[in-house]
Amino acid sequence: MIELAFQHKTGLSVTSPLILGAGAIGIGDAIPKGLDLSCVGAAVVGPVSANSNGGADPPRLAHCNGGAVLNVTLQNRGVGAVMQRYPRHWQRIGVPVVVQLADAQPRHLVRTTTRLRDAAGISGFELLLPADADAALVAALVRACVASTELPVWAKLPLPGACDLARAAVEAGAAGLVLGQAAVGAAVRFLEDGGSTSIRGALFGPGAFAPMMAEFIRVAALELPAVLIASGGIHTVSQVRQALSAGASAVQIDSAIWVEPALPQQLYSELQSMNA
């Protein structure tokens, strides 16, 4: 077993270091055909916030070398609608479910966490910190979230300033740190009418791995009392091994699932053969 909240009284034990990142299976209702959840340690669903968010107007996606740029703008249905429809999906997933929270204000975050904390099928929360958050806001958000639930809370850090934000999150009570949020990128998308438009948003794909690892190694060197989870551009068993050897207890896989739903099974099998 792998413990992903060793400083928390309830803990969060998983059987595989492979975690489905937010967006991989939506809010738990978008499991693609071919995805074998028995190879997965946990699944992050969401994001969820106090109020609904329709997201950016299309087009939102543009391809680039090494991946794609996606303008997601935290599209979600809001906690009220989520509570009416999705807990039944979480109970059927078969692995621990972690709900990603995306509120940028402590009072809204308390409202969201309070609504969700009694839902069946939740094993923890992942707090998606604002990309422009400073240490003071990180501390306030993590404290608000931790005070609103008996479940462990991971803080998902933006890459810029990750070391300072990591310290603030752990001191405020985060049981785990996820590094990191997708870096911002831009690419041009050519339209069917012959025109083009620029897309600015999160960078997904293998090209996101090296920038994530640069900050991950710096945060790992702090030796903070929290679990570390690597997230960003993980598509191969070599990348999984690199992250684990650098101090990660687990890794999150996100956009790779959209391309190859069977990838977790392949990675898990390769890890098992290497450890045999």
Domain residue ranges of the chain, discontinuous segments joined by +: 2-55+66-183+202-275
What's the rounded Cα separation, in Å, for the pair 250 and 244?
A: 7
Residue entry with tokens 């509570």: 83
Q: Residue 148 — very low, low, confident or very high, per pLDDT cuts 50/70/90?
A: very high
Closest CA to 92 of 149, 154, 45, 48: 45
Looking at the predicted structure, is the pLDDT value of residue 268 above 80?
yes
Residue entry with tokens 């679990």: 227
Mean pLDDT, the chain, rounded, equals: 92
pTM comes to 0.94
Sequence-distant (≥ 6) Cβ neighbours of residue 7 within 8 angstroms: 175, 225, 226, 227
Looking at the predicted structure, is the pLDDT value of residue 245 above 90?
yes
CATH homologous superfamily of 2-55+66-183+202-275: Aldolase class I (3.20.20.70)
Task: Give the burial string for 1-23 (b: 16+ CB within 10 Å, else e).
Answer: ebbbbbbbeeebebebbbbbbbb
Mean pLDDT of 223-236: 96
CB 11 within 8 A of CB 2: no
Mean pLDDT of 41-48: 96
Sort residue 74 into left (φ over 0), alpha (ψ -120 to 50) or beta.
left
What's the rounded Cα separation, in Å, for the pair 209 and 215?
A: 10
Q: Residue 255 — very low, low, confident or very high, per pLDDT cuts 50/70/90?
A: confident
CB 177 within 8 A of CB 227: yes
Mean pLDDT of 119-145: 96
CB 203 within 8 A of CB 245: no
Looking at the predicted structure, is the pLDDT value of residue 39 above 90?
yes
Burial of 80 (0-12, 13-18, 19+ CB in 10 A): middle
pLDDT score, position 276? 62
Separate counts of helices (H) and strands (E) for the chain: 9, 14
C-alpha distances out from residue 106 to 102, 112, 129, 148, 171, Å = 11, 10, 11, 11, 17
Most confident of 114-118, 198-202, 263-267: 263-267
Q: What are the start-end ranges of the E strands in 4-136? A: 13-14, 18-20, 42-48, 61-64, 67-70, 97-101, 122-128
Closest CA to 250 of 16, 12, 70, 92: 16
pLDDT score, position 30? 87
